[in-house]
Amino acid sequence: MEKTYIYLDYNSSAPLHPNAWEVMQPILSASSAAYNASSVHYFGRLGRKFVETARSQVAKLVNAEVNQVIFNSGATEGNNTILLHFAKEYPNETILITNGQHPSIMEALNILDNVKVIPLDNNGLIQTSALEELINQETKVSLVSIAYANNETGVIQNVSELSDIVHKHGALLHCDATQSAGRIPINIKQDAIDFLTLSSHKIGGAQGVGALIIGLCGQSPSMLFGGGQEKHLRAGTQNVAGIAGFGAAAQASLQNLSQYKNPSYLRDKLENKLKELSSDIIIHGKNAPRLPNTSFFSIKGMNAQNILMALDLDGIAISNGSACSSGSSKSSSALKAMGIDKEIASSALRISTGWATKESDIDAFLYAFEKIIQRMESK
């Protein structure tokens, strides 16, 4: 009998949504022609139609205008594009980044000279007073980059309030909305976000596709030069199938947002049951607004890697944080930024749900997790 697997690691990568596969399949399986969206013949025009339909669908997901969406390979490229642009264009001005973000942001500390970190409080939030103080300490700040929601804890920042402060001081705001898109409503206009980065595979689209959404700030950062694709801002032949799938996944995500009456139901059920299993359970970020699909928790004294392996043997896939650092011995960067004890951070586990998650998946995890804890406590 074939083993059944349960997937609870959507913040690392979501399974391909059926709607995305439906639009991608005929593009990928076409054997008589190729859909190069830059070609002027019939198949090129058809490829262009796929791309532009997706551009509209992605724009609607974050309430942007169609012409603001620039397709690329994902949020890592988008984040790099923004940071490198401002470092090059404004070498004597400071870039501020939120502590505990994705490595595609945090690595800027190692390669750029003018980057400084905005601290988080013990709930994982940026305090407006801390941001104001940091900006005032600098001669000039060109860019402030924050994660709309943290990829590990799921903690959501007050983007609108932070945006007011950033713009008051003459800087521009970049938000990595990779984990937020499709899970909570995003409005780039209402929050006055100047640059927004997205990844297709977080919402059920293809891997290796994403978008940089450029606001009406007068800046047009570019990463690759060559052809005229994506308004000359991102050269290279477009991944028509991947982009089409991204659009379909964005459309499905937007529809799901309007349908869910209580999107945090599974997360709340999970955490309530965890508290019943052990009084030592620590829910990280519980006192802050969080994504409805994300739970990051620890049991002091437990080894996260051992639990991950035990769950994997039971056919249950979860993670211990960012997919870019999972499997390494490094503790969670988000928890470190929040001042969490290293021993507690080393036992942290993350469960993240998505479009295909069922309540029975949570029940199966809880059953397996309880058995694992009992075995470990008996040793």
How many residues appear in the chain? 379
pTM recorded for the entire structure:
0.93
- Which residues, 6+ apart, have CB-to-CB distance to 235 below 8 Å? 224, 225, 226, 227, 228, 229
- Determine the Cα–Cα distance for residues 238 and 209; give it in Å rounded to an integer: 10
Other beta carbons within 10 angstroms of residue 300's beta carbon come to 13
Helix 128-137 and helix 159-168, axial crossing angle in degrees, nearest 10 = 20
Which pair of structure tokens corresponds to residue 359?
Answer: 């309540």
- Which residues, 6+ apart, have CB-to-CB distance to 211 below 8 Å? 58, 69, 70, 71, 72, 78, 197, 198, 200, 246
Spell out the domains of the chain, with CATH numbers in brackets. 6-15+262-378 (3.90.1150.10), 19-257 (3.40.640.10)
Give DSSP secondary structure letters for 40-66.
Answer: -SHHHHHHHHHHHHHHHHHHHHTT--G
Counting beta carbons within 10 angstroms of the beta carbon of residue 136, is it exposed (0 to 12), middle (13 to 18) or buried (19 or more)?
Answer: exposed
β-strand 172-176 against 141-147: which pairing, if any? Answer: parallel
Among 196, 197, 131, CA closest to 169: 131
Contact status, residue 72 vs residue 178, Cβ threshold 8 Å: no
pLDDT at 82: 97
Q: Virtual CA dihedral for 326, 111, 230, 251, nearest 10 degrees?
A: 30
pLDDT at 77: 96
The mean pLDDT values, 10 residues at a time, for the chain of 379 residues are 85 97 92 82 91 98 97 96 96 96 93 94 95 96 98 97 97 97 96 98 97 90 85 88 98 87 89 92 96 94 90 94 53 90 92 95 96 80
Catalytic residue numbers read: 324
pLDDT at 326: 44
Cα-Cα-Cα-Cα dihedral sign, residues 309, 310, 313, 314: negative
Write down the H helix ranges in the chain.
18-29, 42-61, 75-89, 103-106, 108-111, 128-137, 159-168, 240-259, 265-277, 304-313, 333-337, 342-345, 359-378
Long-range (24+ apart) CB contacts under 8 A made by 45-48 are 47/238, 47/240
Please list the residues that pair with 295 across neighbouring strands.
351
Q: How far from 222 is each of 21, 88, 112, 177, 243, CA to CA, in Å?
A: 30, 11, 17, 19, 19
Give DSSP secondary structure letters for 269-286.
Answer: HHHHHHHHH-TTEEETTT
pLDDT at 203: 97
